[in-house]
Amino acid sequence: MATTERPAASLHAEHKGPCTTETDHGKGTPRPGSEIEKTRAELKIGDRVEYHPVEGSMQTTTGTIEDIETCPVDIGGRHVRASPEEPRYFIKNDHTQKTTAYFKKAIQRKLE
């Protein structure tokens, strides 16, 4: 997972072509049994979520989705793999205030 300081402007403004849409981010492979998988919940910028910060861990934390990227991009010297089928959700952690990119499968549930 790439921990990066996000630029002030959304990454979507930097891209041209079909990867600029934010409407095709409901896909992905959620963790089996997660509330996201059960409800097929649509995630959008500004949603508060509970997620697994470390792949394979049962530990969860909370944060806010700041951006959704559907194209591969390099940020802060790190390559972020993303596609319309497997978008990356940039989540700002409530505790550390750091923003990190996650696949949908790391997101456990949407918080009210």
Chunked in runs of 10, what are the mean pLDDT values of the chain (112 residues)? 50 45 45 60 91 89 95 89 91 96 91 86
Note the pLDDT of residue 50.
95
Q: Provide the residue range defining the domain that includes 41.
A: 3-110
What pTM was estimated for this model as a whole?
Answer: 0.68
∠ CA 63-15-4 to the nearest 5 degrees?
35
Domain count of the fold of the chain: 1
Give residue 21's pLDDT: 37
Q: Are 67 and 90 in contact (CB under 8 A)?
A: yes
CATH number of domain containing 46: 2.30.30
